């Protein structure tokens, strides 16, 4: 099935450079300081300037790359509007920086509210809710003590302050940019109200992280909503996109390479999680904590910088099974949830 996924470009644009995807559409790439080491951003040419899609993290390096892009591939024309697909830092990090230069921010309301809340919510130490979340997930005493002593990641570390005011994107909206009309379809699961934009005039889709090739977007449960079921939302969205997907659609994703073959990719995306759920359920023939479930889900143990993302994704899969009556859970003497197949 993977052979049906086609990548028209076999390499991304170089730093500070752009690739013309189609008339009035430029693809650019910004670095990230993590295992997924890049984010794709796009520029759509309008008569009076540019509409950008996503921004990268706030950092001196990212700002310098943007300066080079604006002076080079964007020809010094002004940026008028910025579309942000969802609230995650690698996509909204410099939105406030652009707004301070007079750029209009266009974003789903939920994404703006999350980002605005998080950028104002600076924590110097983990909250009691976060520590309880880690305890319930099965971290041992040494790991819990380490967490308690660390300054947690804060949104404001890599996201510019967001001023008040934005233009809302909503399901079914049509926005004109790059000489095209774009229909907004909202996805769920990876981020609340994640905007995808489907051209009504040709075969292009701006997919953000909702439509990625080759890798799965992280589906996570967090201390803010520990009983959430984002995997059900993700699967519902994935299936909801299917009737609209065509083989000739060219998806411009938030990471990796542009691709076609979206109908088959949507099937893959759902099947990847369904097979992971089957492996997880078999693993839970005896009680396990979330931290003991990495191997069936990810086919390897995970440590280091990827541990946190793996943990929240594991809890998402466990919550999915719990809400469908396929597992039960009980508290251990250590205060962790132990999960077991029913």
Q: Where are the domains of the chain?
A: 2-123+154-275
Burial of 67 (0-12, 13-18, 19+ CB in 10 A): exposed
Structure tokens belonging to residue 247:
């083989």
Helices first, then strands: H and E counts in the chain: 10, 14
Q: How confident is the model at residue 304 (pLDDT cuts 50, 70, 90)?
A: confident
Q: Look at residue 305 in the predicted model and tell me its pLDDT.
A: 83
CA distances from 148 to 129, 219, 312 (A): 12, 25, 18
The alpha carbon dihedral of 193, 196, 197, 202 has a sign of negative
Report whether pLDDT(2) > 60: no
pLDDT tens digits, one per residue of 246-299: 999 999 999 999 999 999 999 999 999 999 999 999 999 999 999 999 999 999
Say what percent of the chain tops pLDDT 90.
96
Q: What is the mean pLDDT of the segment spanning 132-151?
A: 96
Check residues 132 and 1 and name the one with the higher pLDDT: 132
CB 147 within 8 A of CB 131: yes
Whether domain 2-123+154-275 has CATH 3.60.15.10: the reply is: yes
Which helix (H) or strand (E) is 6 found in, with range? none
Residue in 90, 99, 87 with CA at minimum distance from that of residue 193:
87
Q: Distance between CA 322 and CA 318 in Å, rounded?
A: 6
Structure tokens belonging to residue 186:
């909202």
* CA-based radius of gyration for the chain: 21
Check residues 305 and 71 and name the one with the higher pLDDT: 71
Report whether pLDDT(1) > 80: no
Residue 172 φ then ψ, to 5°: 85, -5
Q: What is the mean pLDDT of the segment spanning 19-38?
A: 96
Q: Look at residue 3 in the predicted model and tell me its pLDDT.
A: 64
Global pTM value: 0.96
Q: Which residues of 119-143 are buried (b: 16+ CB within 10 A; e: fewer)?
A: beeeeeebeeebbebbbbbbbeeee
Q: Look at residue 303 in the predicted model and tell me its pLDDT.
A: 85
pLDDT tens digits, one per residue of 147-200: 999 999 999 999 999 999 999 999 999 999 999 999 999 999 999 999 999 999
Q: Look at residue 82 in the predicted model and tell me its pLDDT.
A: 98
Which helix (H) or strand (E) is 274 found in, with range? helix 262-283
Chain centroid to CA 212:
10
């Amino acid at each position: 099935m993977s052979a049906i996924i086609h990548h028209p470009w076999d390499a991304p644009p170089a730093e500070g450079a752009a690739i013309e995807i189609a008339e009035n559409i430029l693809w650019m790439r910004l670095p990230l300081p993590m295992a997924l080491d890049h984010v794709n951003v796009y520029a759509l040419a309008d008569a009076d300037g540019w509409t950008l899609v996503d921004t990268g993290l706030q950092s001196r390096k990212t700002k310098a790359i943007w300066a080079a892009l604006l002076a080079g591939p964007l020809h010094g024309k002004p940026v008028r509007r910025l579309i942000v697909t969802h609230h995650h830092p690698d996509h909204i990090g410099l939105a406030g920086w652009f707004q301070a230069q007079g750029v209009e921010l266009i974003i789903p309301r939920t994404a703006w509210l999350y980002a605005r809340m998080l950028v104002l919510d600076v924590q110097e130490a983990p909250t009691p809710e976060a520590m309880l979340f880690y305890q319930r997930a099965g971290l041992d005493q040494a790991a819990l003590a380490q967490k308690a002593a660390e300054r947690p990641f804060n949104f404001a570390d890599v996201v510019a302050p967001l001023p008040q005011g934005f233009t809302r994107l909503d399901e079914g909206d049509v926005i004109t940019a790059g000489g095209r009309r774009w229909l907004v379809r909202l996805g769920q699961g990876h981020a609340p109200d994640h905007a995808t934009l489907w051209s009504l005039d040709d075969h292009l889709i701006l997919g953000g992280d909702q439509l990625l090739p080759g890798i799965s977007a992280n589906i996570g449960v967090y201390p803010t909503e520990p009983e959430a079921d984002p995997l059900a939302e993700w699967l519902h969205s994935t299936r909801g996109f299917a009737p609209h997907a065509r083989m000739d659609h060219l998806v411009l994703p938030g990471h990796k390479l542009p691709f076609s073959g979206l109908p088959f990719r949507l099937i893959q995306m759902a099947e990847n999680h369904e097979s992971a759920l089957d492996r997880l359920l078999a693993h839970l023939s005896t009680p396990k904590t979330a931290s003991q479930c990495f191997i069936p889900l990810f086919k390897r143990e995970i440590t280091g910088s990827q541990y946190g993302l793996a943990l929240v994704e594991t809890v998402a899969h466990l919550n999915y099974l719990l809400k469908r009556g396929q597992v039960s859970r009980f508290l251990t003497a250590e205060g962790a949830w132990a999960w077991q197949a029913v």
